Amino acid sequence: MHPLVQSVELDFGKSIYGFEQYSLFRVEEVEESSSFCHVRSCEEPSIGFIVISPFDVYPEYEFQLNENLIEELGVDKADDVLVLSIVTVQKPFEKSTINLLAPLVINVKTGASRQVVLNGTNYTVNAPLLTSGNEGDL
């Protein structure tokens, strides 16, 4: 997790699907040295999501930010961007999934953030969280 993101209020501009009434969020650690974080609404603290970097689960994951989004978020360089994916925790945990189709894109310096749908990709909203080889790493 990028250290700046924990000190910045994230403004998603009502872009989180199904939760458009909430804009402002904070990132909190789930536990020290865990790959998982909790993105919690500042407006309604009972609303939150477990997230993880999609690159921790799928190292080959990639997409391009379009110019409009780069401008909207005020991104100056690639190091300013943090990408997180929402995790749907299931019982048993091995059935949990990760949303690769609609990642959260965050400018860690300003807190400007958006959930973005990656049209024209083969990514899915319910990709397996545990893949062969990463079970012990998360």
Taking only Cα atoms into account, the Rg of the chain, rounded to an integer number of angstroms, comes to 14
- Say if 137 falls within a structural domain: no
Average pLDDT score over residue span 37-50: 94
Distance in angstroms (rounded) separating the CA atoms of residues 88 and 99: 8
- Say if 114 falls within a structural domain: yes
Which pLDDT does position 57 carry in this prediction? 94
- Say if 19 falls within a structural domain: yes
**Does pLDDT of 27 surpass 70?**
yes
Given CA atoms 34, 135, 125, 76 in this order, what sign does their dihedral have? positive
Q: Are 8 and 110 in contact (CB under 8 A)?
A: yes
- Say if 112 falls within a structural domain: yes
- Say if 101 falls within a structural domain: yes
- Say if 91 falls within a structural domain: yes
**Does pLDDT of 32 surpass 90?**
no
Q: What is the largest CA-CA distance in the chain?
A: 41
Given CA atoms 65, 66, 70, 76 in this order, what sign does their dihedral have? positive
**Does pLDDT of 1 surpass 90?**
no
- pLDDT band (50, 70, 90) for residue 30: confident
Q: What is the pTM for the complete model shown?
A: 0.90
Count CA atoms closer than 13 A to 50's CA, side-chain side. Answer: 14
Count CA atoms closer than 13 A to 27's CA, side-chain side. Answer: 29
Domain containing 99 equals 3-128
* Mean pLDDT for the chain overall: 90
CATH code at position 76: 2.30.290.10
Which pLDDT does position 55 carry in this prediction? 95
- Say if 136 falls within a structural domain: no
* Model pLDDT for residues 90-108, shown as the tens digit of each residue: 999 999 999 999 999 999 9
Domain count, the chain: 1
- Say if 49 falls within a structural domain: yes
Of 80, 64, 60, the C-alpha closest to 133 is 60
